[in-house]
Amino acid sequence: MKKILLAICLLSVAVQAQDMREYIIVSGGPSLVEWEPDKTAPRRDFWWGNFIRAARVRIQQIQKERGEDVAITWLVYRPAYLRRAERQDKVDLISNITSVRDKYGINLVWFENTQQLVNYLNAGQPRNRIKIANLEIYSHSNKVAFMFDYSNEIDTASKVWWHENDLHQIRRDIFTRDAFIKSWGCHSGESFSKKWRAATGKPMIGAIGKTNYADGHLRNWVPALSPGGRWVR
């Protein structure tokens, strides 16, 4: 009888190990206000923390839904916050971000280029055992690319992007069958989401139109769709 119970326990442990799930949040960087005063369109990112606070609230939601022991990894594009701190806000933004890690006990991974982000998705954990159950991206974007440093180093341009033509780099076996994947950036549902599904086999929810981070405190920091926008897969 003891041998039977031991076998059942070992089987249970093995099943749990095979079913480990990781929840991943990605935060791109803010623009610099110095690029914005002469623009006629709505000005971006007067507050440095748009992509940080929204991610923080989502982390809280996941822990509430899944328990505090859930495996959450937060990937943040570090150079944009260093530049923003030095040239604009004059405060230690990196410490502000790491304080979120410490408060919620999550795994914080800095990245400086898109390949580092892709590498983490593909192999940051042993993907034969730990699959990605959730991937959400808070960043500037257009219909074909995420732009992690948009208007942060170069006015109205980006040097660090994730283009839909590069999605073949993502391994198709890294996600759970029911993985939830969403872009919280502008226009992603107009092209990027389709290319994502073709490359990975998984749907990505994306926006038709723009997303709006302004007045986030009125919506519990959940980005909103601009008038006329809608979510699509």
C-alpha to C-alpha distances, 155 to 37, 38, 151, 159, nearest whole angstrom? 11, 11, 5, 11
CA 141 to chain centre: 12
Q: Are 23 and 134 in contact (CB under 8 A)?
A: yes
Distance CA(98)–CA(93), nearest Å, equals: 9
Distance CA(36)–CA(44), nearest Å, equals: 7
Q: For 44-63, what is the mean pLDDT?
A: 94
Q: For 70-75, what is the mean pLDDT?
A: 98
Q: Are 95 and 81 in contact (CB under 8 A)?
A: no
CA 103 to chain centre: 19
Sign for the CA dihedral angle at 195, 199, 203, 206 comes to negative
CATH: 3.10.450, 3.40.50, 3.30.2420, 1.20.1260. Which one for 22-232? Answer: 3.40.50
Q: Name all contacts of 61-69 with Cβ < 8 Å and 24+ positions apart.
A: 62/23, 62/134, 63/104, 66/23, 68/105
Distance CA(117)–CA(115), nearest Å, equals: 5
Is residue 179 classed as helix, strand or coil in its secondary structure? Answer: strand
67-88 burial, b at 16+ Cβ within 10 Å, e below that, comes to eeebbbbbbbbbbbbbbbbeeb
Closest to 183 measured CA to CA, from 202, 165, 166: 202
Q: What is the mean pLDDT of the chain?
A: 90
Going by their DSSP bridges, the two strands 140-141 and 145-147 should be labelled as antiparallel
pTM reported for the whole predicted model: 0.90
Tell me what pLDDT residue 10 has.
34
Distance CA(231)–CA(18), nearest Å, equals: 33
Tell me what pLDDT residue 34 has.
78
Distance CA(176)–CA(198), nearest Å, equals: 16
Of the chain, the percentage scoring pLDDT greater than 70 comes to 88
Higher pLDDT, 4 or 139: 139
Beta bridge partners of 208: 230
pLDDT band of 6, cuts 50, 70, 90: very low
Q: For 155-159, what is the mean pLDDT?
A: 92
Structure tokens at 115: 């390949």
